[in-house]
């Protein structure tokens, strides 16, 4: 999962390659776990602010801003890995806009992202003349 998350950040503007299903879902899972842990830590600081009311409020606000900036910075890599995954499954990159369809769009995109890798057969194989 750590290697997939490293590839997630290294290929943050690579829209031309391909990503396997495990690369996509491992990177998304790692990202969600990091954000969840950060918000949980922020909630702990906010609950302590109610009791102590010291500089913990400042720490809580700073932590919240760091998480917000982290989430904004991860938008482009999330789109890039989804485009690469769609390409790997054999779909056009424009299917990334399917979630704009109300109510069902996100479910359709998740279904497309879960499809297996499409194996490309060469057009002309020199070793097999019958093809």
Residues near 26 by Cβ (< 8 Å), separated by ≥ 6? 1, 4, 5
Q: Residue 94: its pLDDT value, please?
A: 92
Evaluate if pTM is beyond 0.75.
yes
Closest by CA position to 81, among listed 32, 24, 35: 24
Q: What integer is the mean pLDDT of 105-129? A: 79
Q: What integer is the mean pLDDT of 26-42? A: 90
Q: Residue 72: its pLDDT value, please?
A: 94
Q: Residue 122: its pLDDT value, please?
A: 58
Chain mean position to CA 12: 10
Average pLDDT along the chain: 84
């Amino acid at each position: 999962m750590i290697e997939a998350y490293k590839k997630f950040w290294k290929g943050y503007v690579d829209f031309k390659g391909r990503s396997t299903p495990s690369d996509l879902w491992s990177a998304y899972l790692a990202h969600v776990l990091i954000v969840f842990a950060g918000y949980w830590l922020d909630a702990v600081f906010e609950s302590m602010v109610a009791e102590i009311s010291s500089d913990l409020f400042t720490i809580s606000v700073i932590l919240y801003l760091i998480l917000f900036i982290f989430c904004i910075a991860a938008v482009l890599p999330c789109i890039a890995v989804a485009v690469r995954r769609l390409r790997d499954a054999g779909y056009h990159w424009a299917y990334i806009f399917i979630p704009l369809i109300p109510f069902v769009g996100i479910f359709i995109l998740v279904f497309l992202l879960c499809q297996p890798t499409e194996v490309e057969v060469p057009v002309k194989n020199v070793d097999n003349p019958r093809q």
